[in-house]
Structure 1
Amino acid sequence: MTTLEQQKQSAELIKTLAHKAWESSSFKDELVKNPVSTIESVMGYKLAENAKVIVEDQTNASFFFLNIPRKPNLDEMELTDEQLEMISGGELVIIATVGLGIACVGLFAAGIAIGQAID
């Protein structure tokens, strides 16, 4: 399950990679050609051994890119301790799936915004 902290770290990494690619065409070319090793060099540590990353250069304003995120596996999702505490206290709980869906839409919207910002 992806935690809120992991979502924040992922968003920050995407932001960092985009800015570096905007500033350096050689970095952008390397990111597209060798995404795993390039991302690892930015993060300072290795990705999972079976990690596969696809990077598309979306800087051409003539194209509209749509990323279809993977469907969440609800059977394997568990509530965090914080969410369990909220339930036991009677507070409103936002299920992780909703948060994941919002994060995916946010990343999609960020891709659109990034594409429009280049114009």
Structure 2
Amino acid sequence: MGQNKNKEQVLRLIISKAWEDIDFRKNLISDPIIAIENLTGAKIILPEGKTLVVNDQTDKSKVYMNIPVEPSIEDIELNEEQLEIIAGGGQTVWADLVNNLFPELKDIIKI
């Protein structure tokens, strides 16, 4: 539990520093690993073949939407109820995904 708390504190520090320091924000976007390690002293170790991408979403005049990576069913452990939902078309799964990932978009789409 303590380690997760420390990770949460590191993430909070990164975000608050990016909000208040435009130079740090620029460095975070251009070279996120170095920027994070220099700020926090934490070591960033990415899985092999992965890169860290930081997008600046601080412009309040824009609504942002990220396209998440498509989940691999083999990598997800689902319970019986979740398997039945997916087998039946998965509408609830999609609704939950959209609502959680894009709450601001949900509010502006009018049908």
Name the TM-score class by shorter chain: 0.5 to 0.7
Aligned match of 2:42 in 36, 41, 44? 44
Q: Distance in 2 between matches of 1:69 and 1:61?
A: 21
Q: Distance in 2 between matches of 1:13 and 1:22?
A: 14
How large is the RMSD of aligned CA atoms in angstroms? 3.9
Is 1:105 equivalent to 2:100 in the alignment? yes
Higher relative contact order (CA 8 A, sep 6+): 1
Unpaired runs of at least 5, structure 2: 84-92, 105-111
Question: Is the contact between residue 36 and residue 52 of structure 1 (CA under 8 Å) also seen in structure 2?
Answer: no
Aligned match of 2:17 in 8, 15, 20? 20
1:10 CA displacement: 7.0
Q: Distance in 1 between matches of 2:69 and 2:16?
A: 25
Q: Deviations over 1:64-114 (max 9, x none)?
A: 1101211221213347xxx9xxx9xxxxx889xx7xx76x926x55xx6xx
Partner residue, 1:66: 65
Count the aligned residue pairs: 88
Q: TM-score, normalised by structure 1?
A: 0.50
User: What percentage of aligned pairs have identical amino acids?
Assistant: 27
Q: TM-score, normalised by structure 2?
A: 0.53
AA in 1 matched with 2:34: S
Larger radius of gyration: 2
